[in-house]
Amino acid sequence: MRTQVAIVGAGPSGLLLGQLLHKAGIDAIVIERQSPEYVLSRIRAGVLEQVTVDVLDEAGVGARMHREGLVHGGFDLLFKGERHRIDMSRLTGGKNVMVYGQTEVTHDLMDARAAAGLTTVYEASNVAVHDFDTDRPRVTYEKDGVKHEVVCDFIAGCDGFHGVCRASAPRNAIREYEKIYPFGWLGILSDTPPVHHELIYVNSQRGFALCSQRSTTRSRYYLQVPLTDKVEDWSDEAFWQELRMRLDPAAREHLVTGPSIEKSVAPLRSFVTEPLRFGRMFLAGDAGHIVPPTGAKGLNLAATDVKYLSQAFIEFYADQTQAGIDSYSERCLKRIWRAERFSWWFTSLMHRFPGEGEIAQKFQEAELDYLIHSEAGSRTIAENYVGLPLDFGR
């Protein structure tokens, strides 16, 4: 099989890249080792920056998002038992975020790809990338016991942290930076109305908590827990009881509980790969970087990676220029490190770190107090949360 771009991975970054290339008339095949059902079962973040909303609109998949998504102009910081609102819209000149689950984004992209009759290979085994340091890269895989080969101009590695693309990069040409956090997030999804119409980020002596949502009838809550905790250690009742103890009285009063429809414990890490280009293979999304979810940057960084990469491919085929391809890694990494810094800082500000004692809590509370009472401090957190412009700092 011959195509222009072989995309490895059918998560949101791979599907979004495929859709943007399709809109530009560039042929691409998407190869995924899991089933469509498995891909859709992965529960992830649901806060979209305006840049991401714009890219989804450009790809022609934003209609349902605008109908069903929730526009948020602020969020609450809860510490020392009191809530304080960060008015993102006012502080950033009218910018907002969209609350719309990653599962829904993936569903919309899958539907668009199927409607256009584009090729997506699911449940592909033994996926491997070859010759990406030449002008004739290849991707091989097996499907239903039959071996296949895709010859292409470029390979887009959108196959996540554990994918084959980054693992295939030459070890002497790659550098990886990583920080593992000493706690995880226990998350629960429930068909209950959200406790508040906007998100609540909680810094408490019992640990971090987050009150989030997917719709007006579906809620997503998180608790900071030790890395040793397992899902089976936590009954629904125990989760709700612990969440109540980390909330303020008004939130406790409005909290509606119910049976979980999904429950999981996720570790937190900061991770960046440099560079993101290896000959004619490019990494995008979780294949190249991971952020702790505190700043809601994972899907948004993936979307901007894909925006830069689609632009580079479009320029290559339309204008016969390699400028976008040559600058892809540098442009992405500049944005990635800014988002990594914000996510690390926000995580450090809101969580209890083992062994740091009560003085660390006092430092956090003092900084939070400064942030909410300083216009400059509030604007800094609002500006980073809504997302920096694509051309910021160029």
Which residues are identified as catalytic? 72, 201, 293, 297, 385
CA 235 to chain centre: 27
Length of the chain: 394
CA 304 to chain centre: 11
> Are β-strands 260-274 and 289-290 bridged in parallel, bridged antiparallel, or unpaired?
antiparallel
Cβ distance 156 to 8 under 8 Å?
yes
What is the distance between the alpha carbons of residues 367 and 373, in angstroms, rounded to a whole number?
Answer: 10
- Give me the sign of the Cα torsion angle 316, 29, 61, 48: negative
Cβ distance 129 to 138 under 8 Å?
yes
191-230 burial, b if ≥16 CB within 10 A, otherwise e?
A: ebbbbbebbbbbbbeebbbbbbbbbeebbbbbbbbeeeee
